[in-house]
Amino acid sequence: MDVLLIFVVTAAIFCLCKIRNLWKLNSTTKSSQIPLGSFGIWPFVGETIHFISSAYSDTPESFVDKRRRTYGKVFKSHLFGSRTIVSSDAEVNKIILQSDARTFIPSYPKSLMELMGKSSILVINGSLQRRIHGLIGSFFKSATLKSQITAEMERYVMESMGRWREDCPIYIQDEAKNIAFQVLAKALISLDPGIQMEMLKKYFQEFIAGLMSVPLNFPGTQLHRSLQAKRRMVKIIDGIIQEKRDCKGINEGITKDVVDALLNDKHEELTDELIAENMIDLMIPGEDSVPVLMTLAIKYLSDCPAAISQLTEENIKLKKVKEKLKEPFSWNDYVSSLPFTQTVITETLRMGNIITGVMRKAMKDVEIKGHLIPKGWCVFAYFRSVHLDDQLYDFPYHFNPWRWQDNNKEMSNGNFTPFGGGQRLCPGLDLARLEASIFLHHFVTQFRWEAEDDSIVNFPTVRMKRRMPVWIKRRRYS
């Protein structure tokens, strides 16, 4: 009898708890509900295989576009082991990007999170993230860096292009990677080309190979090799940090690079290990994002003679003015005095979608535009479908830099987010534009070219399948 009574009471409590939870859910979702969608038929895997197979295709946005035609611009799915709300709605994405750590925190595939580490600026939250982001952003905007980086970038570009030959193809992607890595290594840790930089590049290439690998860490796996490579890189950078500390009395207050900017800050949480690991994370644009931006610009331009003509005319005109005045180019010359060049870069960013989107984890139930994102679920703000939405852009698959002339509203209303947004807006976005501007300026003023057929691969990172081979002819000026 006692056992029966205990069973009845337990069952009653269980039912009351269920009713209470249902009431709470209903009260939360009166004005919102979990978006429609599918978790797929396979446990854990969900729709990940479908997403990846689409990502490898010529139209990687097809996974999202197919589902948003059925469920709407915001839908549920199951990706990379997590229940996920996928958003291709510009307004929803803007709110996600502008939210703080009380609402959303970064959430990425396990291999990437393990390689980044707990102290990565891509992972940390709160005041420490804002502090590091602010210090890096301030340095990238400083007059010292602008003068230094402009001169260094010009030097690396001219040295590289000076070695190009007309009797064999030039692989733009390889050349752009070499130049961009040198620029970023100089800006981050004041490292000049040489044996140490070559070692760093070698380890770095092994490191990034594991960013989207199978999350298994034991000898022989890619993740294990990548983690070993990261340790070797940390050792090199830590040695540079120690040299800077030894010279601190001599160079007190001088900020030549990002490491100096962080070392000069007195915040006790900015340990040498944290600084070294974040320098590695910040090198990713030097190997990936910026070189791909340069490469894709050449790819799209090669198919648009009218854009080549206007771009070349604009750059040659400015070049002649600077030569007549006998003045060196400044950061402002490249970014502000070449307006059509900037529209080419902007249109390349829109079409190329080098950053497909960002993933966040909800720290509480979140309602956005009537959509409920439950606590613990991931949300994937998918930029690509926004940038290629024919309701936002006329003929979105057509390279049209003129669409950006006298029309920057898309940049402010959330329809254009190639660098993310909010507190995690890429601090190096101005530097990326500068590098692309300098590269394009010297390329179009020095060469005519013909591009071989090549195609874009979009997963796990954006790149050219054949590394963008072109045949060049040097321009002759009278």
Amino acid present at 447: F
Average pLDDT over all residues of the chain: 89
**Residue indicated by tokens 């590091």:** 132
Locate the domains of the chain by residue range: 126-474
Query: Is residue 244 within 8 Å of residue 263, measured between CB atoms?
Result: yes
Residue 7, both tokens = 């069973």
pLDDT of residue 382: 97
CA-to-CA distance for 293 and 287, rounded, in angstroms?
Answer: 11
Question: 435-464: per-residue pLDDT in tens?
Answer: 999 999 999 999 999 999 999 999 888 999
Q: Which pairing describes strands 74-79 and 456-457: parallel, antiparallel, or unpaired?
A: unpaired
Check pLDDT > 80 for residue 12: no
Kindly report the pTM of this predicted structure: 0.90
Residue 101, H or E segment: none
Check pLDDT > 90 for residue 288: no
CA-to-CA distance for 431 and 133, rounded, in angstroms?
Answer: 15
Q: SS3 for 299?
A: helix
| Nearest by Cα to 75 from 121, 38, 31 | 38
Task: Burial-class residue 361 by CB neighbours within 10 Å (0-12, 13-18, 19+).
Answer: middle
Check pLDDT > 90 for residue 276: yes
Mean pLDDT computed over 265-283: 88
**Residue indicated by tokens 């959430």:** 107
Query: Is residue 452 within 8 Å of residue 466, measured between CB atoms?
Result: yes
Question: 114-165: per-residue pLDDT in tens?
Answer: 888 888 888 888 888 999 999 998 988 888 788 888 999 999 999 999 999 9
pLDDT of residue 31: 53
Phi-psi region of 376 (alpha: psi -120 to 50; beta: other; left: phi over 0): left
Provide the terminal-to-terminal Cα distance of the chain, rounded to the nearest Å.
Answer: 108
CA-to-CA distance for 228 and 211, rounded, in angstroms?
Answer: 13
Long-range contacts of 75-78 (CB under 8 A, 24+ apart): 75/35, 75/36, 75/37, 76/34, 76/35, 76/36, 76/37, 76/38, 76/39, 77/37, 77/38, 77/39, 77/40, 77/46, 77/47, 77/51, 78/39, 78/40, 78/45, 78/46, 78/47, 78/48
| Nearest by Cα to 423 from 114, 132, 140, 146 | 132
Mean pLDDT computed over 45-61: 94
Give the CATH fold of the 126-474 domain.
Cytochrome p450 (1.10.630)
pLDDT of residue 28: 42
Burial call 225-261: b when 16+ CB within 10 Å, e when fewer: bbbebbebbbebbbebbeebeeeeeeeeeebbbbbbb
Torsion of CA 283, 286, 287, 293, to 10 degrees: 140
Give the single-character DSSP code of 247.
Answer: T
Q: Work out the widest C-alpha separation in the chain, in whole angstroms.
A: 108
| Nearest by Cα to 375 from 16, 10, 34 | 34
Is cis: bond before 460, omega within 30 of 0?
A: yes
Give the single-character DSSP code of 214.
Answer: -
Question: 65-104: per-residue pLDDT in tens?
Answer: 999 999 999 999 999 889 999 999 999 999 999 999 999 9
Give Cα separations from 447 to 170, 312, 363, 478 (angstroms).
12, 10, 53, 15
